[in-house]
Structure 1
C-alpha cells in the first residue's frame, strides 16, 4: 500500500523523502516496481475488462449482482465479492431507477365528461 502511494505521488515529492517518512526502504520500493504482477492481479485485469464492457453495454444500469450473474453466464469463474470489490475500486456504480412521476390530477374542479358510449 505504501509503495502504491509513493508511485502515485512521485511526481510531486522526492521518492527518498517519502520512503523515509513511510518507513520503507528505497530498494524495496524499486524492487516492488520491477516485480511482475501476480496471477490474481492479472486475472483481476481480465475480469475488469469484461466488467467495464458489460457496464458500458448496459448503459451503467448493471449493479454487482446482475454483473456477477452476467459474468457467470459468460463462463467466467468469479465470486460475488470479487465482482463487488472490482466495481467499487473502479467507481462503477449502477444508476438508480427513477420513480415514475404521476401527471394525472384526478382531484380537479372541472366536470367529468359524460359516458356517451354506455
Structure 2
C-alpha cells in the first residue's frame, strides 16, 4: 500500500544550560526526519523501522507544522546538556575528586557494643 511521506529537515541553535558548570551553552540541531501518514495504530505497526508514523485519523485533518518541528527539536535534545570535553568552565580534576568514593571511616562502629552483650558460644 502506498502512503504519503513527509520528509523534513530542521536546523536550529538551541540555548541550553550546561549541567556541569551551569553556564549557558549552544546546542546545534541539524536533523532530517521522515514521517509516514497512517490512519491508526494498526497501520503504524506495519511500517518499517526506519519510518515514524504520523497518525491522521481523518483525511481532512490538518497538521501543525510548528508542532511537528517542535516535537523533533525536543526529541533531538540531549538527555543531559553538557559542554564539549575541555570546553566546560569547571576543571576536570575538580569533577573527578567530587566523584571519588568517600574514604573509609575510622570511626568506631556504634553496634560494636552489642557484641559484648552476646552470651558466650552464640554466633
TM-score by length of structure 2 reads 0.22
Higher relative contact order (CA 8 A, sep 6+): 2
TM-score by length of structure 1 reads 0.22
In terms of fraction of residues, the more helix-rich structure is 1
